[in-house]
Amino acid sequence: MDWLVERLVDQPGYLPKHMFGCRACYYNGLLTLILADKEEPWNGLMVATDKERQPALIKDFPELRPHDVLPKWLYLSQDRDDFEEISNKLIELILEEDSRIGVMPKPKKKKRL
């Protein structure tokens, strides 16, 4: 699924990390997407958002639904025929810094000595 984030990779604000055995995509300090290439429900794109902003995204992208395991995020299965088209539109929103996409990561807890 590397092709999905090609437009993000060259951006100075892009930072990839591993999360849940998947690729988490950060843009300008916000967690925006998680790319999952496993068995359902980890086979597609998770859009990091909060529950208050979900309805606005679902209105524009009715193909999105709350993830089965992490319902605070929206999910788009890679099995959909329109996966590439919708994913590209979501990437465009991230590049435009659409306020509906992205969550501030929680700071890591300090390890006790």
Instruction: Give 39-71 as a DSSP string.
Output: STTSEEEEE---TTTHHHHHHH-TT-EE-SS-T
**pLDDT, tens digit (0-9, with 9 covering 90-100), for 47-87:** 999 999 999 999 999 999 999 999 999 999 999 999 999 99
Token digits for 25? 């995509």
Q: Any idea where the domains of the chain sit in the sequence?
A: 2-95
Mean pLDDT of the 22-41 span = 94
**pLDDT, tens digit (0-9, with 9 covering 90-100), for 81-109:** 999 999 999 999 999 999 999 999 877 77
Bridge partners of 22, per DSSP, are 19
**Helix, strand, or coil (residue 92):** helix
**pLDDT, tens digit (0-9, with 9 covering 90-100), for 3-27:** 888 889 989 999 999 988 899 999 9
Tell which CATH classification among 3.40.1000, 2.60.40, 3.30.2290, 3.90.1150 matches the domain 2-95.
3.90.1150
User: What secondary structure letter does DSSP report for 1?
Assistant: -
